[in-house]
Every structure is written in structure tokens, then in C-alpha cells.
Amino acid sequence: MRVGIIALLQESNTFIKGETTLAHFEADILLEGEAVRKRLADAHHEIGGFFVGLAEQKLEAVPIFAARALPFGVLTAETLDALVRRLDAALDRAGPLDGLLVAPHGATVAANHADADGYWLTHLRQRVGRKMPIVGTLDLHANVSPKMIAACDAYIGYRTNPHLDQRQRGIEAARLIAMTLRGEIKPTMAAAFLPLAVNIERQLTAEQPCRGVYDYADALLDKEGVVTNSVILSFPYADVAEMGACVISVTNNDFALAEETALGLGQYWWDRRHAFVGQMTSISEACDRAAKLDGPITLLDMGDNVGGGSPGDGTLLAIALANRRDLLPACVCLADADSVQKAIAAGVGTRVTLTVGGKTDDLHGPPFEAEFTVQSLGDGKFSETEPRHGGFLHFNQGPTAIVATDTGLTIMLTTRRMVPFSIRQLTSHGVDLSAFRVLVAKGVHAPVAAYAPVSKHLIRVDTPGVTSADMTRLEYKNRRRPMFPFELDTTW
């Protein structure tokens, strides 16, 4: 039997003015047919898991279409339309299929379809008909919609943040579709949508309060008939009606049990909702705390969270560190193509005055001017062998310059904005981590897999920006109302 593989992944931050276009997908992943296998079969990604799982189950994997762009702004209408047209054409070429494995992100927003995942999955369902089994994976940052639930037979959400279990979830999805195709089970799904926005600062699955909800979800798997369940934390930086927590339960042909399990898990979570309100540490509080600790310390820049779509050129922590001799030497990465060119023009070993960062908008701090020495230059390419958030293997941040002030503030300037998911970003460019007292990673939980092994302490800092952890700073117009914690008396 032949099982098609289709992926369309992007996390859209609706608070960003910039739009995601086809060029953003071309710069990351936009593949059809066998090229999907070639690029992703070995990745620590759910698509890699699909290939492994289908092979284990002696099913033929038919790679059809895979598109992914880094988190950024809303997709233009033309972009979503073009992606769906390509998907359609690739599906036409795929030949007869018995089932489909799909990998939506779940938090994709387009100008013409706020529920972009619901739209393309419904379109796919209409094309292949009601009878063909479709099993999907979901990022735990999905903003799940009823349309998405109606379009597929089952979903399996990631269970870890940072996302280190993507490949495993893909293997599970392949097993589930195999059992379905053999007639051993009939996946039957129900979802509960909680009016709960989960603060990003509270989304580390290894720790409370998340741990308790995932443990409870695991315990419910022991119930006879429950096949899988998912706790979806959601992506708060999308001002859409679907934004919010969701739990999904899949049973073997028992809708009442699926509904009861989803509602029970949802109630367990809802009863603990107050624990999911974020704890905010200001820049000055974070610096004072760090000053009392042994290094290396990683400061996590929550307001300029590149994995949440932000520009990656926020200067507020760099400026704070430049003024704190007790926290130097320190290392910060900033996306700033213009300054990279200036550093290249100056050459290694040269002293140069640069105005770095703060150029995309006025939300993440002003440009920072200082005299630097150009320490090294590189091509910005690096690879990661360990499972890391996002399942990336190969990175390319474009031409890169490492510059440092006399007082010990080192800045890695990159041509493209880069997610801080791999410590190889620094080490492969010759950065000696042991030389620093403080490292800055522009993220919240996603960088933890890379930075925890090289840090004695991690401090999450409440910086302003398009990924501000303090959700009261964001102006929502389309979210559900009432919703906890915006309206504290919300009931469910």
C-alpha cells in the first residue's frame, strides 16, 4: 500500500508587519516528490519519522510535497494560493494512494485564510474524499481549529518543548496509519478548545506546570480504547479566533470515549490555569540576578524570539550588558546584513565604529553604536548532528562577522536572521564559549536544548517586542473573548 507524505509548515506571527512570501519558503524548504525524501528522510523531524515508520510497517512512502518557512509574518494570499496549487499538482503526479500522512504546523495564518491550516487540510480532504485515512502531526504551538479536526482522522502533537520528539511523533503517525489501513483500528477524534492563552514563559514541558498536564495525558493512554492524545499549548502571537489551548483525544471507533477523554484532560488543565500565567523578570532584575551567579549564564531574550518570528536584531540586552562590567565578557548574536558588509570591508583585525542592530523596527531597542575590533569573518554555514528544536540539520545564516568591544562585548553579526537552536552557530565560527560570563539567546524554550548544556543558569528576560512574553503588551482584535488570563473571570 502507498502512503503519501505532505507537509506545509510555518508559524505566523500576526504582530509582525512583514509578510511571508514564497521566497521565504524557497530559502528554507520547498520540495516535491523524491527531493522531499532526499532532504528530510534523515532529519530529526516528523517527516523523517514518517519515512522510518512507513518502512517499519512495510508500507510504500510516496513523498509528495514539503514546504516550510521560518516563523515570520502572515502569508500573503498569493503565497498560500501558490503553495496549494503546487501541492495539488504534486498530488496529481503521485498516482493512486491508500492513505496520507500530513505535517501541518497548525499556526499558519494567511491574508486570505486566517485558519490557513484548516483551509488547506479541508481542501486536501475534499480532493481525496472522505474514505482515505489522513493522519497528521502537529506542532505543540498549533492554534487548532474545528476545521482542522474535521479534515483529518487523527492528529499526534509533539509532546516536548523544545521540540526534540518530532521524529518519534512522525513514527507514531506512520504506525497509526498502518494499523488503520490494515483495519486493526478506526481512529475517532474529539477535541476540546479551552479559552486559555498559555504564556510562552510557562511552556517548558520538562517543568511544572506543563509537566503535570503531560503526565496526566500520558496516564490517560492506559484507558482501554484510547489510542493517542495531545496537549497543544498554542502560539499566543497569532491574533486569530483559533488562538488558545487545545486537547485532542483519538480512540478506536469510540467518539463518546474520545470526547470524555478530551474534556477530562481539558478540565484537569483548566483547573490549573492560574499556574500558566507568566512570571516576568525585567532586564534590570535579570542583570542583577545574573551578577550574583556563577557563569556562564544564558539570558533568554523573550521579546526578540527569532523562533516566534521576531527580527533577531533587538539590542536591549546588548546595551544593558555593555553597561554592566560585572556581566562581561558577554556574547550576543544580531541579524544585521549592513554591519556584516561594513565589517567585511574593514577586514579582520581592524578597528571600526559600527551601529549594530535595531534597524528592522522600533520595538526591540535602538541601533547600538560602539567601536569594535573585527575578530573574524565566516560564510555562516554550519550543521547540527544532535536532535534539536525544529529538527534542522543544516543552517545558513549568510556571511557572518564576529566583532568585539575592548570591554568584552562580543557580537556575532549575521546576514540572515537565525534561530538559536544550535550551539554550533557559535562554536563552528570559532567562538570559545568558556571565554564568556553571559550568553544571550533570542528565544524562550527552543534554545534550551542547545544552551542548557553550556550554561550554569538560564534566565528568561521580559524584553519588549513582537514576541513579548507579557501578552498584555500585544493588541489583540480577533481573539476569542472572554479568554483567560486577559479576562480573569472567564469560565469554561
Question: Shortest distance, CB of residue 289 to Zn ion, whole angstroms?
Answer: 27
In the complex with Zn ion, the residue whose CB is nearer, 139 or 201, is 139
Question: Shortest distance, CB of residue 421 to Zn ion, whole angstroms?
Answer: 11
Question: Shortest distance, CB of residue 56 to Zn ion, whole angstroms?
Answer: 26
In the complex with Zn ion, the residue whose CB is nearer, 342 or 445, is 445
Question: Shortest distance, CB of residue 129 to Zn ion, whole angstroms?
Answer: 31
414: three-class secondary structure by DSSP: strand
Count Cβ atoms below 10 Å from residue 133 Cβ, excluding itself: 21
- To which residue does cell 483495519 refer? 183
Question: Shortest distance, CB of residue 288 to Zn ion, whole angstroms?
Answer: 31
Q: Which residues pair with 377 in a beta bridge?
A: 401
Q: Which residue has the closest beta carbon to Zn ion? A: 141
Q: Kindly determine how many residues on this chain lie close enough to bind Zn ion according to the rule CB under 5 A.
A: 2
Dihedral angle, C-alpha 134, 140, 145, 147, nearest 10 °: -10
Question: Shortest distance, CB of residue 345 to Zn ion, whole angstroms?
Answer: 38
**Interface characters, 180-209, with Zn ion (x: CB under 5 A):** ------------------------------
Instruction: Give the orientation angle of helix 210-220 with respect to helix 255-271, to 10 degrees.
Output: 160
Cell numbers placing 225 = 480504547
**Interface characters, 129-148, with Zn ion (x: CB under 5 A):** ----------x-x-------
In the complex with Zn ion, the residue whose CB is nearer, 59 or 233, is 233
In the complex with Zn ion, the residue whose CB is nearer, 86 or 202, is 202
In the complex with Zn ion, the residue whose CB is nearer, 139 or 384, is 139
**Interface characters, 88-127, with Zn ion (x: CB under 5 A):** ----------------------------------------
Count Cβ atoms below 10 Å from residue 160 Cβ, excluding itself: 20
Q: How far is CA 358 from CA 102, 362, 405, 417, 425, in A?
A: 38, 7, 18, 13, 21
In the complex with Zn ion, the residue whose CB is nearer, 303 or 390, is 390
In the complex with Zn ion, the residue whose CB is nearer, 324 or 389, is 389
How far apart (Å, rounded) are the C-alpha atoms in residues 485 and 196? 7
In the complex with Zn ion, the residue whose CB is nearer, 141 or 359, is 141
Question: Shortest distance, CB of residue 378 to Zn ion, whole angstroms?
Answer: 28
Question: Shortest distance, CB of residue 73 to Zn ion, whole angstroms?
Answer: 17
CA 192 to chain CA centroid, nearest Å: 22
Cell numbers placing 467 = 514576541
Would strands 246-252 and 226-232 be described as parallel, antiparallel, or unpaired?
antiparallel
Question: Shortest distance, CB of residue 140 to Zn ion, whole angstroms?
Answer: 6
315: three-class secondary structure by DSSP: coil
Q: How far is CA 61 from CA 100, 125, 288, in A?
A: 9, 19, 54
Q: How far is CA 230 from CA 139, 154, 249, in A?
A: 10, 10, 7
Question: Shortest distance, CB of residue 121 to Zn ion, whole angstroms?
Answer: 18
Q: How far apart are the first and last CA of the chain?
A: 44
Residue 375's H or E segment, with its range, is strand 368-378
Residue 463 amino acid letter: T
Question: Shortest distance, CB of residue 162 to Zn ion, whole angstroms?
Answer: 9
Indicate the burial class of 440 (C-beta count within 10 angstroms; 0-12, 13-18, 19 or more). Answer: buried
271-330 residues near Zn ion, rule: CB under 5 A: none
Q: Which residues pair with 4 in a beta bridge?
A: 62, 100
Three-state DSSP string of 165-206: CHHHHHHHHHHHHHHHHCCCCCEEEEEEECCECCCHHHCCCC
Q: Does 45 bind Zn ion (CB under 5 A)?
A: no
In the complex with Zn ion, the residue whose CB is nearer, 234 or 400, is 234
Question: Shortest distance, CB of residue 11 to Zn ion, whole angstroms?
Answer: 6
Instruction: Give the orientation angle of helix 116-128 with respect to helix 77-93, to 10 degrees.
Output: 30
In the complex with Zn ion, the residue whose CB is nearer, 142 or 178, is 142
Signed CA dihedral, 437, 305, 317, 300: sign only: negative
Count Cβ atoms below 10 Å from residue 393 Cβ, excluding itself: 17
In the complex with Zn ion, the residue whose CB is nearer, 47 or 404, is 47
In the complex with Zn ion, the residue whose CB is nearer, 235 or 436, is 235
**Interface characters, 236-275, with Zn ion (x: CB under 5 A):** ----------------------------------------
Binding site for Zn ion (CB under 5 A): 139, 141
